[in-house]
Amino acid sequence: MGSSGGIQIPNRLPLLLSHEGVLLPGSTVRFSVDSPRNMQLVSQRLLKGTSLKSTIIGVIPNTRDPGQDIDDLPALHKYAPSAAVALKLLQVTSYFHSPHLFLVINLAIIPCIQIGTAGVAVQVVGSNWPKPHYTLLITGLCRFSVTSLLKERPFVLAEVEQLDKLEQYMTPSTHSVSAEDGELGELSQRFYQAAVQLLGMLDMSVPVVAKFRRLLDSLPRETLPDVVASMIRTSNKEKLQVLDAVSLEERFKKALPLLNKQIEGLKLLQKTRKINPDNEKRVTDISYIFLQPLFPGRQFNLEDEDEDEDGDDTASLERKVHNANMPDAALKVCRKELKRLKKMPQSMPEYALTRNYLDLMVELPWSKSTKDCLDIRAARTLLDNDHYAMDKLKKRVVEYLAVRQLKTSLKGPILCFVGPPGVGKTSVGRSVARTLGREFHRIALGGVCDQSDIRGHRRTYVGSMPGRIINGLKTVGVNNPVFLLDEVDKLGKSLQGDPAAALLEVLDPEQNHSFTDHYLNVAFDLSQVLFIATANTTATIPPALLDRMEVLQVPGYTQEEKVEIAHRHLIPNQLEQHGLTPQQLHIPQDTTQAIISSYTREAGVRSLERKIGAICRAVAVKVAEGQRLDFKGLAHVDKAAPPEMPIVIDHIALKDILGQPLFELEVSERLTLPGVALGLAWTPLGGEIMFVEASRTEGEGQLTLTGQLGDVMKESAHLAISWLRANAKTYQITNSSDPLEGTDIHLHFPAGAVTKDGPSAGVTIVTCLASLFSGRLVRSDVAMTGEITLRGLVLPVGGIKDKVLAAHRAGVRRVILPKRNEKDLEELPANVRADLDFVMAANLDEVLNASIDGGFPGPSGSLTHSQLTSKL
């Protein structure tokens, strides 16, 4: 039913399926768009189109939230006209002199028509926070009905029929409905008078009342029901009724009671005001309550439409600002923003930004904190109960807590736990929070490469948001939580700045009492927050950041410690997580040992925990099957009887559940030829054993190195060759003076895909080459580490504890270490020290002597057997 003379909307319209407010012709509403179809409509139609026509879209109200239903098109809002209304529709069509009369008649006699409002998108604002969405400001033009759906993807496109005539909106003050129109004229007159009466009861100085007055005088009467219904405080349900009133008469009939309801309500309030003269001030408040424009972004909910007394949400925000107990500087900023907010129309995009900002400001725990309940003895017990071993770490943590108890305003230091994965760094951090009775929040820093992740974005950016520190504070709701900065060694760097630099201010006790997040733009006091950092290695932590932290090394566990941890913590935890009891599953100690040595190769216990989990799952199936059989009394039938409890996991059951052993003790098997030696390496994942293999072929004295070696390691290989060349005769390695004469050497470091570097393989390369040239075997139970010099000295290296533990895990019995690393042996657990035979070598002479089977002739030609205090 388009109008022949009036302005025509396009007969194909993209449809915005709204689950928020109802757009009525003549009103402007803000819609938040985040569902896939609506997002496509904005990006493909509104943002790409250049003509005015492309800004016209259809808004279908009352659609189920389309974000939840990606594949199927949600049912569109339908209006079922009664027979009388259908008849009226006929009148309307004649009123509009429509050439498409038949179509409307058809629509009127079919049970339902899909109805919506065509509107012009006057503004599109995009934001990425809290998730990608657009905010559209749409001004309603006229009603339309959907005649057919043309496509559903990427957005809904429909053929539509215009239901309202548009030209009257363009000719103000022509009171086109007059007394001659009979009932319609009378209705329009009554409506106008009611509106004037309402206005008379309101304070004209309030902008929205003045606007109402202006509109009432300037708009054509036919448009008044729509405009007034969208301005006064009506529920979405009521607005829908007005929208569904296709005939003008019905529209007046639907809107008039809404107007009268407001008048009655206002009369009632005026009565109460007379009783209580103190309320004089509330006149303007009352006006706002009654004449509130649509609140953008409000959820569409037909049931929950009772007017809440606290309709003025800036007033409630103001109350919250005053109750937030924020420092003066922050309060000043909030007051200023509130003032701006009050002056802003809600349709302005900045309104939402300012509101979000103020919401965050009032939610931040400016002066909310928990009370520390620190009892050092209890703290020590709790740490001991939660974690086995790691004595050094626990001792330092208790010291730290003790100092905190004595001096509550302790500034720093920030503890940083460094160690391989799965050794309990995060879990100790959690325990510290528990012992202090504080809130715990983990901030994962791995891969963070934008400094605004830490410090937030400035509010001028679209989609700006606060950084992780402020977000964390908002989440925990107190200003003295324990923040665990996980994986500080994995911070990245990018064009967006260096997050490590931003962390400097956070972690510096001298500065962090006035930490300024870019989004907040006011200082927040972080001095009460207890920061604990974790890392796998200190090598990649920027020096300035490392300098602010006290590094506590958390080394890997020995086999025995792992067995204890498994029986004290991991097995009980896993049993509980799988709904099992110790009466149902028993894992003996030697099975745990077998899991550790044959199915895991790690410094921590994470993989061990997973394997125990796998056993629990397998047993849970058996237990559940048994219960079912018991329950049905079918045990006697042809099925297996329920297993005897507890189910004990022996070596056979272990193989059944976990499969073939993943790791064998391969050391002795691989050291069966001359030219193979076993080195020890340190990686951020803990210590590891590393084979070095050498072979020689006829050639011109070339050295080939393979296995992804770094520059330092390559240099070590060249050093080793040079030393051997210089000393070949002295050590009687070869008959000729130069061992490389007519020979090519190939040195290979297996696990070829893994990059290796560092100087500590020097002694291993020399041993390997000496074995190759002399044709003598390296002892199958020896592993070694140490840097070499050209003169054959052995220099100290790092990571001794992790390296020795790796050797112990691999079943090695003798470890050759640089003499100057002797002090590091104190850190080793007693049982490891007792199991291993340590040779502390000052020069290569001693290394070769201790590593080659049967000793090696020294420069004097004698065998120095004094070193061989072997226990083998």
Ligand X SMILES: Nc1ncnc2c1ncn2[C@@H]1O[C@H](COP(=O)(O)OP(=O)(O)OP(=O)(O)O)[C@@H](O)[C@H]1O
> With respect to ligand X, which residue has the nearer C-beta, 17 or 605?
605
Q: Are 157 and 209 in contact (CB under 8 A)?
A: no
Find the binder of ligand X among 565, 594, 616, 766 (CB under 6 A). Answer: 565
Find the binder of ligand X among 15, 118, 423, 491 (CB under 6 A). Answer: 423
Q: No. of H helices and E strands in the chain?
A: 31, 25
Which ranges of 276-345 would DSSP assign to H, the alpha helix?
282-290, 313-323, 328-343
Q: What angle do CA 491, 493, 498 make, to 5 degrees?
A: 90
> With respect to ligand X, which residue has the nearer C-beta, 536 or 785?
536
119 in a labelled binding site: no
Task: Round the CA-based radius of gyration of the chain to a whole number and report it.
Answer: 40
Q: Are 641 and 635 in contact (CB under 8 A)?
A: yes
Find the binder of ligand X among 37, 77, 425, 468 (CB under 6 A). Answer: 425
423 in a labelled binding site: yes
Which window, 15-23, 106-114, 213-221, 381-389, contacts ligand X (CB under 6 A)?
A: 381-389
Distance of closest approach, residue 671 Cβ to ligand X, in angstroms: 33
99 in a labelled binding site: no
Which window, 282-290, 475-483, 605-613, 852-860, contacts ligand X (CB under 6 A)?
A: 605-613
Find the binder of ligand X among 388, 440, 531, 599 (CB under 6 A). Answer: 388
Count residues binding ligand X (CB under 6 A): 19
Q: Which of 98, 452, 597, 760 is catalytic?
A: 760
- Catalytic residue at 51? no
623 in a labelled binding site: no
Overall size of the chain counted in residues: 872
29, 104, 241, 507, 604 from 146: Cα distances, Å = 21, 11, 18, 61, 65
421 in a labelled binding site: yes
Rounded to whole angstroms, the Cα distance separating 19 from 852 reads 80
Return the closest-CA partner of residue 109 out of 122, 98, 124, 93. 93
> With respect to ligand X, which residue has the nearer C-beta, 421 or 456?
421
Distance of closest approach, residue 394 Cβ to ligand X, in angstroms: 9
Residue 606 interacting with ligand X (CB under 6 A): yes
Which window, 274-282, 387-395, 511-519, 715-723, contacts ligand X (CB under 6 A)?
A: 387-395
Helix (H, G, I), strand (E, B) or coil at 130: coil
Residue 605 interacting with ligand X (CB under 6 A): yes
What is the x/- site pattern for ligand X, positions 389-408, by CB under 6 A? xx------------------
- Catalytic residue at 803? yes
Residues 431 to 490 in contact with ligand X, rule: CB under 6 A: none
Q: Which helix (H) or strand (E) holds 676?
A: strand 676-683
Residue 422 interacting with ligand X (CB under 6 A): yes
Which window, 197-205, 262-270, 382-390, 439-447, contacts ligand X (CB under 6 A)?
A: 382-390
128, 236, 454, 508, 550 from 501: Cα distances, Å = 25, 51, 10, 11, 18
Residue 421 interacting with ligand X (CB under 6 A): yes
> With respect to ligand X, which residue has the nearer C-beta, 423 or 530?
423
> With respect to ligand X, which residue has the nearer C-beta, 389 or 503?
389
What dihedral angle (degrees, nearest 10) is formed by the CA atoms of 419, 420, 426, 432? -30
> With respect to ligand X, which residue has the nearer C-beta, 168 or 534?
534
424 in a labelled binding site: yes
> For the chain, what is the largest distance between any 2 Cα atoms, rounded to a whole number of angstroms?
132
Distance of closest approach, residue 566 Cβ to ligand X, in angstroms: 9
E-state strands within 487-560: 515-516, 523-524, 530-535, 549-553
Which window, 386-394, 470-478, 537-545, 653-661, contacts ligand X (CB under 6 A)?
A: 386-394
861 Ramachandran zone, left/alpha/beta (phi>0; psi -120 to 50): left
Return the closest-CA partner of residue 425 out of 459, 466, 397. 397
> With respect to ligand X, which residue has the nearer C-beta, 189 or 573?
573
Per DSSP, what are the bridge partners of residue 414?
549
Per DSSP, what are the bridge partners of residue 726?
none
Find the binder of ligand X among 35, 534, 574, 760 (CB under 6 A). Answer: 534
Q: Are 809 and 601 in contact (CB under 8 A)?
A: yes
The two structure tokens encoding residue 714: 């390559």
Distance of closest approach, residue 389 Cβ to ligand X, in angstroms: 5
Q: Which of 347, 774, 803, 851 is catalytic?
A: 803
Strands 743-748 and 782-784: unpaired
Return the closest-CA partner of residue 2 out of 115, 117, 165. 165
Distance of CA 504 to the CA centre of its chain: 22
422 in a labelled binding site: yes
Which window, 104-112, 462-470, 604-612, 613-621, contacts ligand X (CB under 6 A)?
A: 604-612
Rounded to whole angstroms, the Cα distance separating 456 from 443 reads 14
Distance of closest approach, residue 803 Cβ to ligand X, in angstroms: 19
Active site residues: 760, 803
Q: Which residues contribute to the annotated binding site for ATP?
A: 419-426
Interacting residues toward ligand X by CB under 6 A: 387-390, 421-427, 534, 536, 565, 569, 604-606, 609
